[in-house]
Amino acid sequence: MTVTSSADGQLARWERPTTPGAFPEQSDELTHFMMVYKFGLAEIETKIKILAEELAHKGRGNPIEHVSPRLKTPASIATKARRMGCPLTYDDLRARIRDIAGIRIVCSFVSDVYTVADMLTKQPDVNLVVTKDYIDKPKTNGYRSLHLIVEIPVFLSDRVVAVPVEVQLRTVAMDFWASLEHKIYYKYDPDIPAALRDELAAAAEDAARLDKRMERLHHEIHGPRP
Protein backbone atom coordinates (compact mmCIF):
# COMPACT_ATOMS: atom_id res chain seq x y z
CA MET A 1 0.00 0.00 0.00
CA THR A 2 1.27 3.47 -0.82
CA VAL A 3 0.01 6.57 0.96
CA THR A 4 0.21 10.06 -0.50
CA SER A 5 -0.50 12.80 2.03
CA SER A 6 -1.66 16.25 1.00
CA ALA A 7 -3.06 17.32 4.36
CA ASP A 8 0.14 18.52 6.04
CA GLY A 9 0.84 21.27 3.53
CA GLN A 10 -2.66 22.67 3.36
CA LEU A 11 -2.61 24.84 6.46
CA ALA A 12 0.43 26.78 5.24
CA ARG A 13 -1.25 27.77 1.98
CA TRP A 14 -4.14 30.05 2.89
CA GLU A 15 -5.69 31.49 -0.21
CA ARG A 16 -6.89 35.09 -0.04
CA PRO A 17 -10.54 35.36 -1.13
CA THR A 18 -11.03 37.02 -4.49
CA THR A 19 -14.33 38.57 -3.46
CA PRO A 20 -14.70 40.72 -0.32
CA GLY A 21 -16.58 38.76 2.32
CA ALA A 22 -16.14 35.50 0.40
CA PHE A 23 -14.82 33.71 3.48
CA PRO A 24 -14.56 34.53 7.17
CA GLU A 25 -11.56 36.70 7.98
CA GLN A 26 -8.32 34.75 8.08
CA SER A 27 -7.38 34.47 11.71
CA ASP A 28 -6.47 32.08 14.50
CA GLU A 29 -10.11 30.97 14.43
CA LEU A 30 -9.80 29.92 10.78
CA THR A 31 -6.55 28.10 11.52
CA HIS A 32 -8.18 26.21 14.38
CA PHE A 33 -11.25 25.45 12.26
CA MET A 34 -9.07 23.80 9.61
CA MET A 35 -6.77 22.03 12.06
CA VAL A 36 -9.65 20.09 13.60
CA TYR A 37 -10.41 18.56 10.18
CA LYS A 38 -6.72 17.83 9.66
CA PHE A 39 -6.67 15.92 12.95
CA GLY A 40 -9.81 13.97 12.01
CA LEU A 41 -8.25 13.03 8.69
CA ALA A 42 -5.11 11.83 10.47
CA GLU A 43 -7.22 9.63 12.78
CA ILE A 44 -8.98 7.94 9.87
CA GLU A 45 -5.73 7.48 7.95
CA THR A 46 -4.17 5.77 10.97
CA LYS A 47 -7.12 3.40 11.29
CA ILE A 48 -6.83 2.42 7.63
CA LYS A 49 -3.09 1.81 7.91
CA ILE A 50 -3.66 -0.43 10.94
CA LEU A 51 -6.31 -2.45 9.09
CA ALA A 52 -4.05 -2.89 6.07
CA GLU A 53 -1.04 -3.99 8.10
CA GLU A 54 -3.09 -6.36 10.27
CA LEU A 55 -4.64 -8.09 7.26
CA ALA A 56 -1.25 -8.42 5.58
CA HIS A 57 0.24 -9.87 8.79
CA LYS A 58 -2.56 -12.42 9.03
CA GLY A 59 -1.75 -13.60 5.52
CA ARG A 60 -5.13 -12.64 4.15
CA GLY A 61 -3.62 -10.31 1.60
CA ASN A 62 -3.94 -6.54 1.68
CA PRO A 63 -7.17 -5.48 -0.05
CA ILE A 64 -6.04 -1.84 -0.15
CA GLU A 65 -4.00 -0.72 -3.14
CA HIS A 66 -3.44 2.88 -2.07
CA VAL A 67 -4.87 5.66 0.07
CA SER A 68 -5.09 9.39 -0.70
CA PRO A 69 -6.15 11.86 2.02
CA ARG A 70 -7.38 15.31 1.02
CA LEU A 71 -8.17 18.49 2.94
CA LYS A 72 -10.13 21.24 1.18
CA THR A 73 -8.55 24.69 1.07
CA PRO A 74 -10.46 27.64 2.54
CA ALA A 75 -11.03 28.93 -1.02
CA SER A 76 -12.51 25.57 -2.06
CA ILE A 77 -14.76 25.54 1.00
CA ALA A 78 -15.96 29.06 0.22
CA THR A 79 -16.69 28.12 -3.40
CA LYS A 80 -18.75 25.11 -2.34
CA ALA A 81 -20.58 27.13 0.31
CA ARG A 82 -21.60 29.73 -2.26
CA ARG A 83 -22.76 27.01 -4.63
CA MET A 84 -24.86 25.44 -1.86
CA GLY A 85 -26.20 28.73 -0.59
CA CYS A 86 -24.55 28.02 2.75
CA PRO A 87 -23.91 31.10 4.94
CA LEU A 88 -20.20 31.73 5.45
CA THR A 89 -20.16 31.29 9.19
CA TYR A 90 -18.14 28.66 10.96
CA ASP A 91 -21.23 27.05 12.53
CA ASP A 92 -22.99 26.75 9.18
CA LEU A 93 -19.88 25.42 7.46
CA ARG A 94 -19.44 22.76 10.15
CA ALA A 95 -23.08 21.70 9.93
CA ARG A 96 -23.58 21.69 6.16
CA ILE A 97 -20.27 20.93 4.45
CA ARG A 98 -19.41 17.37 5.40
CA ASP A 99 -16.51 16.70 3.05
CA ILE A 100 -13.96 19.27 4.18
CA ALA A 101 -11.79 16.30 5.15
CA GLY A 102 -11.81 13.35 2.78
CA ILE A 103 -9.90 10.17 2.10
CA ARG A 104 -9.97 7.88 -0.93
CA ILE A 105 -9.32 4.16 -0.52
CA VAL A 106 -8.59 2.24 -3.72
CA CYS A 107 -9.08 -1.52 -3.47
CA SER A 108 -8.30 -4.46 -5.71
CA PHE A 109 -11.82 -5.81 -6.10
CA VAL A 110 -15.42 -4.73 -5.57
CA SER A 111 -15.81 -7.20 -2.70
CA ASP A 112 -12.79 -5.61 -1.03
CA VAL A 113 -14.51 -2.21 -1.16
CA TYR A 114 -17.37 -3.49 0.98
CA THR A 115 -15.07 -5.52 3.25
CA VAL A 116 -12.91 -2.51 4.09
CA ALA A 117 -15.96 -0.28 4.55
CA ASP A 118 -17.49 -2.83 6.91
CA MET A 119 -14.30 -3.20 8.94
CA LEU A 120 -13.93 0.56 9.27
CA THR A 121 -17.51 1.38 10.20
CA LYS A 122 -17.77 -1.45 12.75
CA GLN A 123 -15.13 0.19 14.92
CA PRO A 124 -16.90 1.54 18.02
CA ASP A 125 -15.51 5.08 17.72
CA VAL A 126 -16.45 5.46 14.05
CA ASN A 127 -19.99 6.76 13.61
CA LEU A 128 -21.47 6.10 10.17
CA VAL A 129 -23.64 9.08 9.23
CA VAL A 130 -24.41 8.69 5.51
CA THR A 131 -23.89 5.98 2.89
CA LYS A 132 -24.13 6.65 -0.84
CA ASP A 133 -23.57 3.51 -2.88
CA TYR A 134 -22.74 4.55 -6.43
CA ILE A 135 -21.49 1.03 -7.17
CA ASP A 136 -24.91 -0.52 -6.71
CA LYS A 137 -26.59 2.53 -8.29
CA PRO A 138 -24.08 4.38 -10.52
CA LYS A 139 -24.52 8.04 -11.36
CA THR A 140 -26.00 8.83 -14.76
CA ASN A 141 -22.54 9.65 -16.17
CA GLY A 142 -21.26 6.19 -15.19
CA TYR A 143 -19.45 7.17 -11.98
CA ARG A 144 -19.06 4.31 -9.51
CA SER A 145 -17.77 4.50 -5.94
CA LEU A 146 -18.91 3.88 -2.39
CA HIS A 147 -19.17 7.13 -0.41
CA LEU A 148 -19.41 7.24 3.36
CA ILE A 149 -19.64 10.17 5.73
CA VAL A 150 -18.28 9.08 9.10
CA GLU A 151 -17.66 10.99 12.29
CA ILE A 152 -14.45 10.38 14.21
CA PRO A 153 -13.71 11.73 17.70
CA VAL A 154 -10.77 14.13 17.96
CA PHE A 155 -9.50 14.70 21.48
CA LEU A 156 -8.42 18.31 21.90
CA SER A 157 -6.94 19.85 25.03
CA ASP A 158 -10.28 21.15 26.25
CA ARG A 159 -12.94 19.01 24.55
CA VAL A 160 -13.76 16.14 22.23
CA VAL A 161 -14.96 17.05 18.72
CA ALA A 162 -16.82 14.67 16.37
CA VAL A 163 -15.22 15.45 13.02
CA PRO A 164 -16.96 14.42 9.77
CA VAL A 165 -14.78 12.78 7.14
CA GLU A 166 -15.85 11.68 3.67
CA VAL A 167 -14.52 8.22 2.82
CA GLN A 168 -14.56 7.20 -0.84
CA LEU A 169 -13.91 3.55 -1.63
CA ARG A 170 -13.49 2.25 -5.17
CA THR A 171 -11.60 -0.25 -7.28
CA VAL A 172 -8.54 0.47 -9.41
CA ALA A 173 -10.72 0.42 -12.54
CA MET A 174 -13.24 2.83 -11.01
CA ASP A 175 -10.43 5.13 -9.91
CA PHE A 176 -8.86 5.18 -13.37
CA TRP A 177 -12.21 6.05 -14.96
CA ALA A 178 -12.96 8.77 -12.38
CA SER A 179 -9.54 10.35 -12.91
CA LEU A 180 -10.04 10.48 -16.67
CA GLU A 181 -13.59 11.83 -16.33
CA HIS A 182 -12.38 14.56 -13.99
CA LYS A 183 -9.72 15.69 -16.47
CA ILE A 184 -12.21 15.76 -19.34
CA TYR A 185 -14.82 17.60 -17.27
CA TYR A 186 -12.23 20.16 -16.20
CA LYS A 187 -11.23 20.79 -19.82
CA TYR A 188 -14.74 21.10 -21.29
CA ASP A 189 -16.81 22.31 -18.32
CA PRO A 190 -19.65 22.92 -18.70
CA ASP A 191 -20.00 21.90 -22.35
CA ILE A 192 -18.71 18.34 -22.66
CA PRO A 193 -19.52 17.14 -26.20
CA ALA A 194 -22.37 14.62 -26.28
CA ALA A 195 -20.26 12.07 -28.14
CA LEU A 196 -17.62 12.28 -25.43
CA ARG A 197 -20.22 11.85 -22.71
CA ASP A 198 -21.44 8.70 -24.47
CA GLU A 199 -17.88 7.37 -24.74
CA LEU A 200 -17.30 7.98 -21.05
CA ALA A 201 -20.52 6.19 -20.12
CA ALA A 202 -19.52 3.24 -22.32
CA ALA A 203 -16.05 3.20 -20.74
CA ALA A 204 -17.65 3.08 -17.30
CA GLU A 205 -19.59 -0.03 -18.33
CA ASP A 206 -16.38 -1.57 -19.68
CA ALA A 207 -14.65 -0.87 -16.37
CA ALA A 208 -17.51 -2.48 -14.45
CA ARG A 209 -17.31 -5.58 -16.63
CA LEU A 210 -13.54 -5.72 -16.09
CA ASP A 211 -14.06 -5.56 -12.32
CA LYS A 212 -16.47 -8.49 -12.48
CA ARG A 213 -14.15 -10.54 -14.69
CA MET A 214 -11.07 -9.91 -12.54
CA GLU A 215 -12.94 -10.78 -9.35
CA ARG A 216 -14.20 -14.00 -10.92
CA LEU A 217 -10.65 -14.94 -11.96
CA HIS A 218 -9.36 -14.11 -8.49
CA HIS A 219 -11.94 -16.40 -6.92
CA GLU A 220 -11.13 -19.21 -9.34
CA ILE A 221 -7.43 -19.01 -8.52
CA HIS A 222 -7.43 -18.16 -4.81
CA GLY A 223 -11.00 -18.59 -3.65
CA PRO A 224 -12.89 -15.76 -1.90
CA ARG A 225 -11.12 -13.85 0.84
CA PRO A 226 -11.69 -15.57 4.21
Active-site annotation, residues:
166
Q: Examine residue 184 and state whether it is found in any structural domain, yes or no.
A: no
Mean pLDDT, residues 97-106 taken together? 97
Mean pLDDT, residues 211-215 taken together? 94
Mean pLDDT, residues 201-224 taken together? 89
Whole-number pLDDT of residue 224: 65
Mean pLDDT, residues 138-144 taken together? 94
Q: Which residue has the higher pLDDT, 104 or 194?
A: 104
Whole-number pLDDT of residue 57: 83
Q: Is the peptide bond before 190 cis (omega within 30 degrees of 0)?
A: yes
pLDDT for 54-74, tens place per residue? 888 876 678 899 999 999 999
Of residues 108, 102, 123, 101, the one with CA closest to residue 47 = 123
Q: Examine residue 37 and state whether it is found in any structural domain, yes or no.
A: yes
Q: Examine residue 80 and state whether it is found in any structural domain, yes or no.
A: yes
Residue 190: is its pLDDT beyond 80? no
Q: Examine residue 34 and state whether it is found in any structural domain, yes or no.
A: yes
Q: Examine residue 95 and state whether it is found in any structural domain, yes or no.
A: yes
Q: What is the CA radius of gyration of the chain?
A: 19
144: left (phi over 0), alpha (psi -120 to 50) or beta: beta
Burial class (CB in 10 A: 0-12, 13-18, 19+), 66: middle
List the CATH number of the domain containing 146: 3.30.460.10
Q: Examine residue 85 and state whether it is found in any structural domain, yes or no.
A: yes
Cα–Cα distance, 50 to 121 (Å, whole number): 14
Split into its structural domains, the chain has a count of 1
SS (H, E, C) 141-179: CCCCCEEEEEEEEEECCCCEEEEEEEEEEEEHHHHHHHH
Q: Examine residue 206 and state whether it is found in any structural domain, yes or no.
A: no
- 38: containing domain: 2-172
Q: Examine residue 179 and state whether it is found in any structural domain, yes or no.
A: no
